[in-house]
């Protein structure tokens, strides 16, 4: 009988090397671009040069593969320098002239201009679809989904959309950044590939950029790996090591972040100044029913619409815990007024709130006071 470990056990041991006498129990990052080779070709060296491979990448990739696989079949993971490097590997490594790709119209804002400008220039037809659908999958080679979508927090029914895409002959890649592999396992829900920005909740300390591509398909895994080796979109070994170190606490960080997000969603929903609070973990949210079927936990990110930009600025100035940051998943709470960047179609007062691991009572007291101050 295989014992399936819980998330805390899985995360804290992910990537661990077998115990070897005299070797460090917690290996540090391998900061080297060159490795000793055998004097003649054909020696046993796995590592030769830092772009194709590095022992620290392998540790992180083993850890991420374990998280993405859960109790299912083995997964292969390639780490990248950032989430966009991972997304680029899937788009450019798999598509060719004449292909059609479907990408989210309401997902991460940098994917759209990359596809519209560069993929189109290489002869790929780009279709955009909202996360809620409908998905124009006929004739598509690849469908890229993002769920929950950043920043709108809409959720798409992964098993249903994957089945429709597969029936049309398309591959499906899911941007799983917002959920992380402990929140949702797209490969178990029908997806062929997972792409993610590990810059966000996965690494979770606001101090590095990183991404990964995971799949159960050997050929797709080989293409992602080859793309990284050819283009050099490799992470720094130090960043890879920091991420590995951070992974150990992913379970406990996500638990607190999700508890905080639910409490903040409830606080905001009860405030007359706030409209359209979106958190898939809140019963009553339009996404809750679908999210409850496919997500294992709901994470720390929510969105809401405040009266206007000035209100958000007053609220941020009055808060002692939430700072203005345009990222999410950090151990500290951050708020981003998305309209200031111009990439998303959202109202001026639309904010994405990323809950940190502060004590729930402290965060609620702080945000309540900040809302009161902003309301005057
Ligand atoms: C941040 C983000 C990305 C891009 O990741 P980087 O690490 O900044 O390159 C891609 N997708 C989603 C959903 C994101 O939030």
Where is 259: in which H helix or E strand?
helix 250-269
Helix (H) or strand (E) holding 309: helix 309-318
d(CA 281, CA 278): 9
157 conformational bin, left if phi > 0, alpha if psi -120 to 50, beta if neither: beta
Closest Cα partner for 329 from 269, 266, 246, 268?
A: 246
Query: Which atom of ligand 1 is least distant from the CA of 84?
Result: 9
The pLDDT tens digits for 215-265 are 999 999 999 999 999 999 999 999 999 999 999 999 999 999 999 999 999
* Distance from the alpha carbon of residue 376 to the mean position of ligand 1, in angstroms: 35
- Take atom 1 of ligand 1 and give the residue whose Cα is closest: 197
In short, whether 146's Cβ falls inside 6 Å of ligand 1 is: yes
Tell me which residue has its CA closest to atom 11 in ligand 1.
108
- Does the CB atom of residue 79 touch ligand 1 within 6 A? no
**Which atom belonging to ligand 1 lies closest to the Cα atom of 328?**
15
Give distance in angstroms: CA of 180 to centre of ligand 1.
Answer: 12
The answer to whether domain 27-247 has CATH 3.40.640.10 is: yes
Of ligand 1's listed atoms, the one at least distance from the Cα of 210 is: 7
Instruction: Report how far ligand 1's centroid is from the alpha carbon of 9 (Å).
Output: 27
Q: 0.85 cut: is pTM over it?
A: yes
- 86 CA distance to ligand 1 centroid (A)? 9
Per residue in 280-329, pLDDT tens?
Answer: 999 999 999 999 999 999 999 999 999 999 999 999 999 999 999 999 99
Mean per-residue pLDDT for 48-53?
92
How far apart, in whole angstroms, are the C-alpha atoms of residue 339 and residue 342? Answer: 5
In the reported structure, the alpha carbon of residue 94 is separated from the centroid of ligand 1 by a whole-number distance in angstroms of: 19
**pLDDT score at 47:** 86
* H or E stretch covering 335: strand 334-337
Q: Which helix (H) or strand (E) holds 375?
A: helix 360-375
| Ligand 1 contact via 211 beta carbon (within 6 Å) | yes
In order of 76, 187, 217, 349, 354, the CA distances from 222 in angstroms are: 9, 17, 9, 44, 34
Measured in Å, residue 226 CA sits from the centre of ligand 1 at 21
The per-residue pLDDT for range 156-184, each reduced to its tens digit, is 999 999 999 999 999 999 999 999 999 99
Q: Tokens at residue 14, please?
A: 């992910």
88 lines ligand 1 (CB under 6 A): no
Question: Is domain 251-375 annotated with CATH 3.90.1150.10?
Answer: yes
Atom 4, ligand 1: residue with shortest CA distance:
83
Q: At what angle do helices 360-375 and 309-318 cross, to 10 degrees?
A: 130
Whether the predicted pLDDT of 66 surpasses 90: yes
DSSP 157-202: -HHHHHHHHHHTT-EEEEE-TTT-TTT--GGGTT-SEEEEETTTTT
At 321 the pLDDT is 98
| Residues taking part in catalysis | 51, 108, 175, 200
| Three-point CA angle 236, 237, 240, nearest 5° | 90
Q: What share of the chain is helix, strand, coil (3-state, %, to 5)?
A: 35, 15, 50
Any ligand 1 atom below 6 A from CB of 99: no
pLDDT > 90: what percent of the chain? 93
Q: How far apart are the first and last CA of the chain?
A: 62
- Higher local confidence (pLDDT), 93 or 4: 93
In the chain, domain spans? 27-247, 251-375
pLDDT (0 to 100) of residue 44 = 67
1 pLDDT above the threshold of 70: no
At 167 the pLDDT is: 98
CA of 61 to the centre of ligand 1 (A): 18
Instruction: Judge if the beta carbon of residue 175 lies within 6 A of ligand 1.
Output: yes
For a pocket test of ligand 1, which of 111, 114, 150, 201 has the largest count of ligand atoms closer than 8 A to its C-beta? 150
Among 149, 151, 199, name the best residue to mutate to test ligand 1's pocket (greatest count of ligand atoms within 8 A of Cβ): 199
């Amino acid at each position: 009988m295989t014992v399936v470990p819980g998330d805390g056990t899985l995360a804290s041991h992910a990537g661990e090397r077998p115990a070897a006498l005299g070797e460090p129990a917690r290996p540090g990052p391998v900061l080297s671009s060159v490795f000793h080779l055998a004097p003649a070709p054909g020696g046993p060296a796995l590592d030769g040069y830092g772009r194709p491979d590095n022992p620290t990448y392998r540790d992180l990739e083993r850890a991420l593969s374990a998280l993405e696989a859960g109790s299912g079949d083995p997964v292969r993971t390639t780490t990248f320098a950032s989430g966009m490097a991972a997304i680029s590997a899937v788009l450019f490594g798999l598509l060719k002239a004449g292909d059609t790709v479907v990408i989210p119209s309401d997902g991460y804002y940098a994917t759209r201009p990359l596809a519209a400008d560069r993929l189109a220039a290489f002869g790929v037809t780009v279709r955009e679809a909202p996360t809620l659908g409908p998905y124009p999958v006929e004739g598509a080679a690849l469908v890229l989904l993002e769920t929950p979508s950043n920043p709108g927090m809409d959720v798409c029914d992964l098993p249903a959309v994957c089945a429709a895409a597969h029936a049309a002959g398309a591959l499906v890649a899911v941007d799983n950044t917002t959920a992380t592999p402990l929140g949702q396992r797209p490969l178990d829900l029908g997806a062929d590939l997972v792409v993610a920005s590990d810059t966000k909740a996965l690494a979770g300390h606001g101090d590095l950029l990183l991404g990964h591509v995971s799949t159960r398909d050997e050929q797709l895994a080989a293409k992602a790996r080859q793309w990284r080796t050819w283009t050099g979109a490799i992470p720094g070994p130090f960043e890879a090591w920091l991420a590995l170190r951070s992974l150990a606490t992913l379970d406990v960080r996500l638990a607190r972040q999700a508890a905080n997000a639910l409490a903040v969603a409830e606080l905001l929903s009860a405030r007359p100044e706030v409209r359209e609070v979106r958190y898939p973990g809140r019963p009553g949210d339009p996404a809750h029913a679908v999210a409850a079927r496919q997500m294992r936990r709901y994470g720390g990110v929510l969105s809401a619409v405040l009266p206007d930009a000035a209100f958000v600025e007053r609220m941020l100035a009055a808060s002692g815990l939430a700072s203005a940051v345009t990222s999410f998943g950090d151990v500290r709470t951050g708020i981003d007024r998305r309209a200031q960047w111009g990439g998303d179609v959202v109202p001026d007062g639309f904010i994405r709130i990323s809950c940190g691991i502060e004590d729930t009572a402290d965060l609620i007291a702080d945000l309540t006071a900040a809302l009161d101050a902003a309301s005057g």
